[in-house]
């Protein structure tokens, strides 16, 4: 009997784990990618000075890039060398596509087919219910990401040229920024950051559009494309995602603009047109992109609180955005409305939402709030900072948003590691993590008698 080679044995082991618990393998592979990127950034060649960064600096940056967050403990433009920035760019791309989706793409390129394991892995990460949809979803991921990133780069490239940036540098900054925008990563390599472009429509509109499209999710993009000639047939998930996202952007833009309109440290001294653009950017970026054209630390506390709420919700499921997702919020709001009306069923757009979906929404929101609460308590014990500042940073990390009041680099290493772990939890998904940690699925034959406790 011929013994299997180590490669065959490893592949068989991965296949067994994937079939038994795709979510658990997804978390493990994501952690492996973070470790690999950390190792690459830990090399002296990754820094502009040629000196080896600290392990925390490499680990935090790697986690932020793979988890497409954008929080940084060092300046991306000046601290990292071109090699280090290229590693960050690849990490953003891998994290944006999703490790499992990328594995399926590679498998398809090699074998011209997608195996059951790859389908299970991709279905786990992208929340696809039917395995037959995975192939179409992967094609949507490839087409959408490449098309949007190329389009964004082509729009931004001439803008950098008009600003006097050399051709080679303009191309590099345009490509980096385009990938960062679509993947909602929030990293920039312009030494001056985004602040000089607060009134630049040519620079900011791509951020607004790219962030919104990247945050609605690949299943929505696929569903809209398939039903492009009959949009009335789009799925309930698509309708909930688009409508809720648009509503949150509109409300965020309106209220943040109102709160900051006369704040001389942010919008107050800008022309009216620039204030409107700054409000729009500030209303869209909490979807998870993390770009900011004004200093977040100078905003009013009311703006911080509203941004906290917007970041916690995040973007669409199976998207480059983080948070508990807009469909989670939509389902819970619809359930509240149904309860207030005395309706037996939770309904939207002529469809009925089943009870398991509502339970899942409540679980996702509760787990997310619990993670934020624990991390907030930990950081409060590690620092002397106030609750409002800590809460903003923690929610930004959990929602993989990247907006910051400017305290990240000043935090002690223990607090930075805590934020990095929270970014990982936020990117892998609260329910994916819960499924990965579950020892087994409970199947009960006997159901206990029903009784309703008093609520409220």
| pLDDT tens profile 107-117 | 544 444 555 55
Inform me whether the pLDDT recorded for 121 exceeds 60: no
Q: What is the pLDDT of residue 439?
A: 45
Count of domains observed in the chain = 1
Which residue's entry shows tokens 């389908």?
119
- For residue 446, being part of any structural domain is answered with no
Q: Please tell me whether residue 437 adopts helix, strand or coil conformation.
A: helix
pLDDT for 5 equals 64
Backbone φ/ψ region at 386: left (φ over 0), alpha (ψ -120 to 50), beta: beta
Write the pLDDT tens digit of every residue in 20-41.
Answer: 555 667 778 888 999 999 999 9
Residue 7 domain-assigned? no
- Examine residue 361 and state whether it is found in any structural domain, yes or no: yes
Q: Work out the angle at residue 302's Cα, subtended by the Cα atoms of residues 74 and 397, and round it to the nearest 5 degrees.
A: 35
Alpha-carbon distance 116 to 423, whole Å? 30
Out of 60-74, 175-189, 317-331, least confident range: 317-331
pLDDT at 248: 96
Is 398 within the bounds of a domain? yes
Compute the distance between CA of residue 218 and CA of residue 142 in angstroms, rounded to an integer. Answer: 10
Q: What is the rounded CA–CA span in Å between residue 53 and residue 22? A: 34
Range of the domain at 40: 17-435
Burial of 39 (0-12, 13-18, 19+ CB in 10 A): middle
Distances (CA, A) of 175 to 85, 200, 237, 429: 12, 18, 31, 28
**Whether pLDDT at 247 is above 60:** yes
pLDDT at position 225 over 70: yes
Distance of CA 183 to CAs 13, 21, 162, Å? 32, 27, 25
Q: Calculate mean pLDDT across residues 204-212.
A: 93
Instruction: Calculate the alpha carbon distances from 74 to 100, 172, 375, 416 in Å.
Output: 29, 20, 21, 12
Overall size of the chain counted in residues: 456
DSSP 5-57: PHHHHHHHHHHHHHHH-HHHHHHHHHHHHHHHHHHHHTSGGGBTTSSPPPHHH
Whether the Cβ atoms of residue 256 and residue 279 lie closer than 8 Å to each other = yes
Q: What is the pLDDT of residue 221?
A: 84
- Closest among 74, 11, 5, 1 to 42, alpha carbons compared: 74
**Three-class SS state of 392:** helix
DSSP of 109-170: HHHSS--HHHHHHHHHHHT-SSGGGHHHHHHHHHHHHHHHHHHHHHHHHHHHHHTT--HHHH
* pLDDT greater than 80 at residue 4: no
d(CA 178, CA 308): 25
Q: Which of 112-121, 249-258, 294-303, 354-363 has the lowest mean pLDDT?
A: 112-121
* 3 domain-assigned: no
Three-class SS state of 441:
coil
Q: What share of the chain is helix, strand, coil (3-state, %, to 5)?
A: 70, 0, 30
In a domain, 190, yes or no: yes
Confidence class of residue 357 from pLDDT cuts 50, 70 and 90?
A: confident
Q: Is residue 9 part of a domain?
A: no
- Among 268, 245, 263, residue whose Cα is nearest residue 302: 263
| pTM of the predicted protein model | 0.88
Percentage of the chain exceeding pLDDT 90: 60
Residue with tokens 């909490």: 286
Is 90 exceeded by the pLDDT of residue 200? yes
Span 418-423, mean pLDDT?
95
- Judge whether residue 274 has pLDDT over 60: yes
Residue 351's DSSP bridge partners are: 348
Give the pLDDT score at 84: 96
DSSP reduced 3-state for 385: coil
The answer to whether residue 6 is domain-embedded is no
User: Is the pLDDT confidence value at 8 over 70?
Assistant: no
Note the pLDDT of residue 1: 46
- 138: which residues sit within 8 A by CB, 6+ positions away? 101, 104, 105, 108, 114, 122
> Mean pLDDT, the chain, as a whole number?
85
Over residues 160-186, the pLDDT tens digits come to 999 999 999 999 999 999 999 999 999
């Amino acid at each position: 009997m011929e013994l299997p080679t180590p490669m065959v044995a490893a592949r068989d082991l991965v296949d067994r784990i994937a079939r038994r618990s795709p979510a658990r393998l997804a978390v493990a592979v994501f952690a492996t990618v973070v470790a690999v990127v950390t190792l690459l950034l830990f090399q002296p060649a990754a820094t502009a000075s040629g000196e080896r960064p600290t392990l925390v600096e490499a680990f935090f940056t790697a986690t932020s890039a793979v988890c497409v967050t954008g929080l940084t403990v060092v300046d991306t433009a000046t601290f990292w060398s071109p090699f280090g920035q290229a590693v960050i760019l690849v990490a953003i791309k891998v994290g944006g596509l999703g490790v499992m989706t990328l594995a399926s793409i590679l498998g398809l390129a090699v074998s011209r087919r997608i195996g059951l394991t790859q389908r299970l892995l991709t279905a786990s990460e992208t929340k696809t219910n039917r395995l037959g949809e995975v192939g179409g979803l992967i094609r949507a991921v490839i087409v959408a990401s490449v098309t949007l990133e190329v389009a964004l780069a082509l729009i931004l490239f001439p803008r950098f040229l008009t600003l006097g940036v050399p051709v080679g540098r303009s191309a590099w900054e345009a490509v980096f920024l385009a990938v960062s925008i679509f993947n909602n990563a929030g990293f920039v390599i312009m030494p001056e950051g985004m602040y000089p472009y607060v009134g630049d429509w040519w620079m900011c509109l791509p951020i607004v559009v790219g962030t919104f499209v990247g945050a609605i999710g690949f299943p929505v993009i696929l569903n809209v494309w398939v039903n492009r000639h009959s949009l009335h047939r789009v799925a309930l998930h698509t309708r909930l995602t688009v409508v809720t996202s648009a509503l949150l952007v509109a409300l965020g833009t309106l209220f943040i603009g109102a709160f900051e309109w006369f704040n001389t440290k942010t919008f107050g001294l800008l022309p009216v047109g620039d204030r409107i653009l700054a409000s729009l950017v500030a209303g869209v970026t909490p979807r998870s992109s993390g770009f900011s054209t004004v200093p977040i630390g100078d905003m009013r506390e009311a703006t911080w609180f509203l941004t906290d709420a917007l970041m916690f919700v995040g973007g669409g499921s199976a998207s480059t955005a983080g948070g508990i997702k807009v469909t989670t919020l939509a389902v819970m709001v619809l359930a509240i409305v149904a309860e207030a009306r005395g309706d037996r069923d939770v309904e939207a757009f002529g469809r009925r939402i089943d009870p398991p979906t509502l339970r899942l929404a409540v679980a996702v929101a509760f787990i997310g709030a619990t993670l934020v609460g624990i991390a907030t308590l930990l950081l409060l014990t590690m620092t002397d900072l106030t609750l409002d500042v800590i809460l903003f940073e923690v929610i930004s990390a959990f929602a993989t948003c990247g907006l910051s009041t400017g305290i990240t680099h000043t935090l002690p290493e223990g607090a930075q590691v805590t934020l990095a772990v929270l970014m990982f939890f936020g990117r892998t998904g609260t329910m994916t993590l819960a499924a990965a940690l579950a020892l087994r699925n409970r199947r009960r034959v006997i159901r206990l008698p029903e009784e309703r406790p008093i609520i409220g």
